Amino acid sequence: MGMGMPETRYARSGDVSIAYQVLGEGPFDVVVVPGSVSHVELQWEIARFAAFLRGVAEQARVLLFDKRGTGLSDRVAGVPTLEERSDDIRAVMDAAGSERAALASAEEGVPMSVVFAASHPERVSALVLYQGSARWLWAPNYPIGETEREARQEIEEEVEAFLTPGGLEALARSFYPSADEEEIRAAARMHRYGASPRHHRGAGADEPGDRRA
């Protein structure tokens, strides 16, 4: 089985084109639901992530995609709803001929996966959720949430990382403390190509539970 970078294809979710790839030929399907930023082609230059994908593809058929507004998928106006973003999963599964799949998601991909599983239980065989949260902002029944001021400050710090020379590299080092400089540069490049500063700032208007469109 060839393990180079797969061909990038496009699925339709309403009037939006969603970039996706298919890797491996295993007996069951796994959809990798990305966090806030992804780029289906440049993420292959991050050695640890490429190794993870190839490892999963030794056991399964893996579907990768960029959420609407990020990576090679269409940019969209405003902030998509959680339901709209969850429909990106359906579009990719349909395009790849996947009737049922396990969903593996991290961070901002977790709410998408949960909503899709609740809406289409017959199409989800398993949920693998990493670093997700029930919501982002503080509420009376969610005291560990951030205040709106804290959340907006965090968004501005991420936007500032885009605008400051070396800022994305510094952000990548905080995400991957054990990575070498080549991986750090690759991760920063993926974030730079995967989303614009406006993407991060605009997501501040999003629902508290599904942060960063």
With CA atoms as reference, report the closest residue to 66 among 55, 78, 74, 77.
74
Q: Kindly indicate the confidence band of residue 207, based on its pLDDT and cuts at 50, 70 and 90.
A: very low
**Contact of 194 with 42, CB cutoff 8 Å:** yes
Token pair 């999003």 is found at 206
The per-residue b/e assignment along 24-58, b for 16 or more CB within 10 angstroms, e otherwise, is beeeebbbbbbbbbbbbbbbbbbeebeeebbebbe
Residue 91 parent element (H or E): helix 82-95
Strand order in the sheet with 16-23: 9-13, 16-23, 61-65, 29-33, 101-106, 124-130
Q: How far is Cα of residue 169 from the mean position of the Cα atoms in its chain? A: 19
Of 65, 56, 57, nearest to 16 by C-alpha is 65
pLDDT digits (tens, 9 = 90+) for 136-189: 889 999 999 888 898 888 878 877 877 788 888 888 888 788 889 999 999 999
Instruction: State pLDDT tens for residues 90-135.
Output: 999 999 999 999 999 998 899 999 999 999 999 999 999 998 888 8
φ, ψ for residue 65 (rounded to 5)? Answer: -155, 160
Which range is least confidently modeled, 62-71, 137-146, 194-203?
A: 194-203
